[in-house]
Each structure stands twice: as C-alpha cells, then as structure tokens.
Structure 1
Amino acid sequence: MDTRTLIASYYEAFNAGQTDRMLDLLHDEVEHHVNEGGIRRGKALFAEFNRHMTESYREDLTDMVIFANEAGDRAAAEFVVNGTYLKTDEGLPEAKGQTYRLPAGTFFSIRDGRIARVTTYYNLADWTRQVCE
C-alpha cells in the first residue's frame, strides 16, 4: 500500500469509528505526539487514547487533503474536525453536548509500511472558545 493510501485508510477507519482497524495500520513502536502534550509510545497507549477520545468526543473529519513525500516515509494531512463534546475531559470545560468545527493537521512518519509517528496539531484556544460559547 502506498503512503497516501495508508493515510487515507487510517482516516477512513477513524471516521467509521473502527479504532481496531486504525491500530492495524500502526507500527508496533508508534509514537503519538499529542497536541500541547507529551509522547505516547506503543500501540497499547494509542489504543487507550482512542478509548478515552471515543468516550469524550464524537468527531468526523472532512475536507481531507493528504500529502506524501517521494520516498513515502513522511506524510501530512490537513482536514476539518466536526465534533461533539460528549463527556467532560479532565482539565477542560464541562461537556454539555457542544458542537465544534476546527481546522487541524497531522504529520506522519512511515516505517516498514506502517505509521510510526502521528503528530496532530489544532488550536486548543479556538476549541475552548467554541465549547464555552
């Protein structure tokens, strides 16, 4: 599978709520660089993150554009997150079913035909403003 197809498959699984399928596309030693946070290493921590996110948020990604370098070992995606805040996340405003629309982007490293790094960026202040209105 080429890199653009790999990334497209990852996001298709995300939008379908198929987190196990997302995990299948990850390298065993995946590094998840969290927006304004630390680094989670390994599939187990990534799966734990996905469980938490599924409980707290319902999101659908649209306007997806995927980029990949010629070597196929680096990629990026730009998209819009259309979400609903379902359950209060620790340290964040109270969840009351608020909706939000937020531009975001992710950078990837690819190793052995799998995603080895996921680094997602979005504007947390913009998200906070939207859910507090």
Structure 2
Amino acid sequence: MSKDIVGQYFAAFNAGDADGMLALVTDDVEHHVNQGEVRRGRERFAEFCSHMGVSYREELRDIVILAEGDRAAAEFIVHGTYLQTDPGLPEAKGQTYVLPAGSFFTLRDGKIARVTTYYNLADWIRQVS
C-alpha cells in the first residue's frame, strides 16, 4: 500500500498534476523542503506546487521506492529546466539540470502525512550558473 501511494504521488508529479498530488496528502501534511522551512498543511503544500510549476519543469526518472509499514523512501534523478528566477537563486534562462535526489514519507490513513526531500543545492546552483 505505501509503495502504491508514493508511486501515485510521483506519477502525479511527473504529469504536472498538482491536484493529483494534493489528493494524496493529509490536510495537515508536513512538507520538509531541502534548505527551506517546513510547510504545514495542504494549503501551504498547494502554494509550493503552484510555485514549482511556474519556476521549474521537472521529470523524475529512475525512481526506486522502498516501503515498510507507515514509512517509505524513494531515490530518483531529477531532469529539469529552470524557467523563472527564484528569489535568492541564480537568474533563470531556461537552463537544464540533472540532479540526484531522495524523498522520505510518513503515511497515515492511506495518505501522505509527511514528505521530506533532499538534493545537493550546491550542485544545482553549479549546473544553472
């Protein structure tokens, strides 16, 4: 079950289906972003998804999902294009990047209650600079 939910989450991400992602998270979801603050709640998660859809176009490939009980982890490669400048980051000019990343999940009542994502920000900055 855990692997299925996480697989659906990544399929929605790759389809650019923010509503599909939102349908898979709890109302009080905790979204721990690499190098950023924890966003709590579906509304904050929706804001993040909207921002990402404008600033980046990404596809996750080579996804491997491991799950046990109410926990899951995934490793993947992000293939992306930097579309619109994010404040405090290099200027966006349509640069492409390939970046290994990983996410950790806590599941509750058949939904994602926490997602924590990690990647090497310095590597990303080097690739888009």
TM category, shorter: over 0.9
Specify every segment of 5 or more residues in structure 1 that has no aligned partner in the other structure, as ranges.
none
Give yes or no for the alignment of 1:95 onto 2:92. yes
- In structure 2, the residue matched to 1:49 is 48
- In structure 2, the residue matched to 1:123 is 120
SS of residue matched to 2:90: coil
Give yes or no for the alignment of 1:111 onto 2:108. yes
Matches within 5 A, 1:18-33: 18-33=17-32
1:38 offset after TM fit, Å? 1.2
1:8 offset after TM fit, Å? 0.2
1:37 offset after TM fit, Å? 1.3
Give the ranges of 4+ consecutive aligned residues of structure 1 lying more than 6 Å apart after TM superposition: none
Q: Deviations over 1:41-78 (max 9, x none)?
A: 00000000000000000000000000001x2x000000
Number of equivalenced pairs: 129
SS of residue matched to 1:88: coil
TM-score normalised by structure 2 residue count: 0.99
Give, in whole Å, the separation in 1 of the partners of 2:86 and 2:53: 11
- In structure 2, the residue matched to 1:40 is 39
Specify every segment of 5 or more residues in structure 2 that has no aligned partner in the other structure, as ranges.
none
Give, in whole Å, the separation in 2 of the partners of 1:46 and 1:28: 10
Q: Deviations over 1:82-113 (max 9, x none)?
A: 00000000000000000000000000000111
Give, in whole Å, the separation in 1 of the partners of 2:31 and 2:50: 15
Identity of aligned residues (%): 66
Q: Deviations over 1:3-42 (max 9, x none)?
A: 1010000000000011001000001110001101111000
Give, in whole Å, the separation in 1 of the partners of 2:51 and 2:35: 17
Residue type at the aligned position of 1:64: I
